[in-house]
Amino acid sequence: MLPFNDYGPIDPTERKALMIAGLCCFVFINFLSLVHRPAARIRKVTTTVTIPAPISPSQLLDENPSAGNLLARYRVVPQNFKHVDFRNHSYGSYAYPNAKEIDLKLTQSEMQLPENAGWFALQDVFYKDFTGDGKPEAIVRLSHVECGGSCDGGADLFYIYTQRNGQLKTLWQYETGSYAYGCGLRSFTVNRRQLVLELFGRCPKPAMEDPGTSKFLAKDLTFIVFKYDGQRFERSMIEYFETGTENVKNYEPLIYIF
């Protein structure tokens, strides 16, 4: 006997109510099946994010096409140096390691050495205030090339001059090594009252202990920092960094002034 037989026939209203109740139960059961779907059937979506390799500060500087243009304003000759012609100028006595001395005097930006032994040449002149008196000092960069059977690729010779009572006074003088035999200039940075030299090799040692046929090959880098103490520039730090061997022939050093 069916359980509903004791209750007699179902009228249309009750039938409709039962159908609605059944439909609601069907919808509710399907809703629960969607919400509580087995974990094995849930599809995971994975997003891959590619992070670019970091770029070193030196790379940013090397790749910046406007870096050289930033020097233009430091080449403008200020009023206190209008009377000084560094292209035709005596830089005083220059002493060689063998104690030989010469009068380093440029004419039309150059000085040829006798017997084709090399030359000095003016590379650039920049102006920046180091002393804090509101008047710029002059940063003069010369190149010094020595030749025997072949030339050494050149060294960089720096002078920084200030004006005292209408006369030039040297605040700093420094010569790097050559590109062929070590300690050639990689970069020169002026930041406020600080100078940073970046040189090829472990200076003052040669870039290669025994160059032989390996001229112009340099390994490692040397950073030297000079700070202005109110009277002169004094070396405040020297640090070495290991690098691979690099061919530095015909290298053009980077110059930055901030």
Residue 55: what pLDDT? Answer: 33
Q: According to the model, what pLDDT value does residue 56 have?
A: 37
Express each pLDDT in 48-72 by its tens digit. 333 233 333 344 344 444 455 789 9
What global pTM score does this model have? Answer: 0.73
β-pair type (194-200, 137-146) = unpaired
The number of angstroms, rounded, from the C-alpha of 249 to the middle of its chain's C-alpha atoms is 20
Give the count of alpha carbons within 13 A of 148, CB side only.
Answer: 2
- Is there a domain that residue 197 lies in? yes
* Furthest-apart CA atoms within the chain: distance in Å: 134
Query: Which among 112, 236, 97 is positioned nearest to 175, based on CA atoms?
Result: 97
**Percent of the residues in the chain that have a pLDDT greater than 70, as a whole number:** 70
In a domain, 158, yes or no: yes
Q: How far apart are CA 93 and CA 97, in angstroms?
A: 13
Q: Is residue 33 part of a domain?
A: no
Average pLDDT value over all residues in the chain: 80
**Can you tell me the distance from the alpha carbon of 148 to that of 215, in angstroms, rounded to the nearest whole number?**
14
Distance CA 142, CA 41 (A): 76
- Compute the distance between CA of residue 109 and CA of residue 143 in angstroms, rounded to an integer: 11
Note whether residue 49 is domain-resident: no
What DSSP character marks residue 136?
A: -
Q: In what order do the strands lie in the sheet with 194-200?
A: 233-247, 217-228, 194-200, 185-191, 254-257
Q: Which two tokens stand for residue 239?
A: 């640090």
**Which band of pLDDT confidence, cut at 50, 70 and 90, is reported for residue 228?**
very high
144-161 pLDDT, tens digit per residue, is: 999 988 999 999 999 999
Task: Let me know if residue 159 belongs to a domain.
Answer: yes
Count Cβ atoms below 10 Å from residue 47 Cβ, excluding itself.
Answer: 4
Give the separation between CA 167 and CA 83, rounded to whole angstroms: 11
Is 199 a member of any domain? yes
Counting beta carbons within 10 angstroms of the beta carbon of residue 90, is it exposed (0 to 12), middle (13 to 18) or buried (19 or more)? exposed
CA dist., res. 221 & res. 119, Å (int): 27
85 inside domain: yes
What is the extent of the structural domain holding 115? Answer: 57-257
Is the pLDDT reported for residue 207 higher than 90?
A: no
Does residue 30 belong to any structural domain of this protein? no
* Tokens encoding 51: 């992070």
Total domains in the chain come to: 1
Q: Which two tokens stand for residue 141?
A: 């960069």
Neighbours of 177 (CB within 10 A): 24
Choice among 11-20, 92-101, 205-214 with the minimum mean pLDDT:
11-20
